[in-house]
Structure 1
Amino acid sequence: MSALPVTVDKARYTLPAIGLHWVIALLIIGMLCLGYYMVDIPKGIPGRAAYFNLHKSLGVLAGALILLRLGWRLAHRPPPLPRGTSRPMARAAQWSHGLLYFCMLLQPATGYLSSSFNKYGIKVFGVALPNLAWEDKHLREFFMTYHQLIAIPFIALIAIHVLAACKHVLIDRDRIFGRMLP
């Protein structure tokens, strides 16, 4: 009995890219929801720190996975767009993905830096990371301001990304969405 040849579908993303995409997507959406929820928790409320520590832990995890995903993306070309994709649509896809990666890098970086200038530091699921900075209220607030501001265009880009995926499924029916499914 001979083995069947293994073929690779060039029109699909690789399984590691697909897995990283969905895990990171869930982490980011969860952290954005948690972030907006926890900033309204008044200081002195029991359990408040648990929300912040969970957010930081998930942020460090997401940051590491984002770096892994970026490395994977640089080493593996994404599948080509379908024939007939207009130049403006191809450019829009390229720019929106680039901006998503930019936000995916900046968001955890500014959060990490803000926490690094905080007296509490960063604990990842209860394990304290080495403190890379000193306590400095002004630098902490500077990075936290950008961490919060970046969330706004990040959410807009995610919404555009989801709407574009829906357009491909419901209107274009061009199988673009299927390339990111296992």
Structure 2
Amino acid sequence: MPPASYDRVASSLHWLIGVGLLAQIAFGFLLDDIAPRGTPARSGVINLHKSMGIVLGLLVVLRLVWRLRHAPPGWPRTMPPWQQRAARLGHRVLYACMLVMPLSGYLASNVGKRGVVLFGWPLAPWGPELPALYSALQALHAATAWLFCALVAGHVAAALKHALIDRDGIFGRITPWAAGAAGSSHD
């Protein structure tokens, strides 16, 4: 029988990654305002963005492994099958974005001019500078960020609908104060 709610690990990772990724995306979109191109602060700010992206990417991998090893709570009986399918699809695309965003940023950095500096520690690049591949990966990185933002808006809207209109307990299953002792995870 599926657990009634997500466990504390799943709940904590859900909120930590969610807030972290939204902050990271805002940081990425504001990079030019925070540290304009050609200013001394630029490389430090970019390297902080890269470092945080790597940390968030690793947290997403941890979250995905946790999710695959712990059964999610079941859907409420009142939830229509089409909503269940939409939720499953939405979650899968959210996970895809959470993997593609940091991976595309990391790979772009490896084929770009500056490489990756992880919290002040330069990492060896994987190969030579490849400007065309760098541009393609940067475009993928940005497009995925925009898609992720749209999906998060839908995710939040659906959560609020379940909390305020349906009142079916869906939202409460992932909140830290409701996280149960039963090992589960499905976000």
Q: How high is the TM-score relative to the length of structure 1?
A: 0.90
Deviations 1:128-182 (A, max 9, x none): 2232232121111111011111122111001001111111111111121111112
> Greater shift after overlay, 113-122 or 89-98?
113-122
- Partner of 1:139 in structure 2? 133
- Partner of 2:182 in structure 1? none
Amino acid at match of 1:50: G
Amino acid at match of 1:133: G
Amino acid at match of 1:20: L
Amino acid at match of 1:125: F
- State how far apart, in whole Å, the 1-side matches of 2:70 and 2:32 are: 38
1:73 matched to 2:62: no
- Partner of 2:36 in structure 1? 42
Runs (5+) with no aligned partner, structure 2: 177-187
2:170 to 159, 170, 176: 176
**Number of aligned residue pairs:** 175
- Partner of 1:113 in structure 2? 107
Secondary structure of the residue aligned to 1:25 is: helix
Equivalences for 1:24-173 in 2 at 5 Å?
24-39=17-32, 41-173=35-167
Q: For residue 61 of structure 1, report the CA deviation from its aligned partner.
A: 0.3
Larger Rg: 1
Deviations 1:2-55 (A, max 9, x none): xxxxxxx81101111111111111110011101110145532122112221111
Runs of 4+ in structure 1 off by over 3 angstroms are 39-42
- State how far apart, in whole Å, the 2-side matches of 1:15 and 1:69 are: 12
| Greater relative CO, 1 or 2 (CA 8 Å, sep 6+) | 2
Q: Pairwise CA RMSD of aligned residues? A: 1.6
Secondary structure of the residue aligned to 2:30 is: helix
Amino acid at match of 1:12: S
Amino acid at match of 2:93: L
- Partner of 1:3 in structure 2? none
- State how far apart, in whole Å, the 2-side matches of 1:97 and 1:162 are: 12
Secondary structure of the residue aligned to 1:46 is: coil
Amino acid at match of 1:158: V
Q: Report percent identity of matched pairs.
A: 43
Runs (5+) with no aligned partner, structure 1: 1-8
Q: For residue 99 of structure 1, report the CA deviation from its aligned partner.
A: 0.6
